[in-house]
Amino acid sequence: MKRPNPKTMIMAVSTGALFFLLGTVAPTYAKQEQHEKDAQQPPRQEQQAKPEQKQQAKVQQKQEQRQAKVQQKQEQQQAKPEQQQQAKPEQEQQAKSEQQQQAKVQQEQKQANQSSQQVQRVQQSEQRGVWQQHRAHSWQAEHRTWQQRGGYNGYWIPEDHFRGHFGRNHRFRIHSLSLEIFGGYPRFQYSGFWFGLIDPWPEYWSDNWYENDDVYIDYFGDGYYLYNRRHPRDRIAITVYLN
């Protein structure tokens, strides 16, 4: 029997060992590579999941902000009726106080008007003092026409009666007529009517003009005026009363 060559046996053993090692290492390497791939995949999924989570968080945050705004508006609306109910008594009290003050002012004005409308008879011996009280300091500055006063608002004398008793051809002197104070102004009675002087008389007229000067009543443009024959350019605004 032929003995085996040792070199051939060694080569055979080496070759078998090499195949054994390759068969062992290859699966191990494949498994290791698979593990590495598996280990790399989760981070990718996490990276993909993070934007979605951020988006969801933003949406949730916006929803919470909207809910907070809605709740705040509801609370404000609920608080308004309470504030209005609290403000009502104060507003009512203020309105009541203003009404009382207005009524007080109106009452004072009414009393003042009533007192000013009281008639005070003037005797002939007292006429000088009355007329001096109604003398102008500067007639050009103090005089106002009926147009400047907003229009004539007194009694209108019938046209036929006016032509027969008034105008420049019907002169008279005030001193011989009844005189009284009415509404704070002097007024005299002539031809069935009372005539009140609304204007003061000019400061350059004589002190006793009402005794010595001839005067007459005429209509000019917008109302009645008293004229003095000595000063024909001057017109004193007067108003007419029936009684």
At 51-88, the pLDDT tens digits run 566 666 666 776 777 777 767 777 776 665 555 555 56
Euclidean distance between CA atoms 226 and 199, whole angstroms? 10
Q: Please compute the mean of the pLDDT values over residues 37-46 and round it to a whole number.
A: 51
Q: Which residue has the higher pLDDT, 106 or 190?
A: 190
Euclidean distance between CA atoms 20 and 24, whole angstroms? 6
| Per-residue confidence (pLDDT) for residue 68, from 0 to 100 | 77
Minimum mean pLDDT range among 40-49, 174-183, 226-235: 40-49
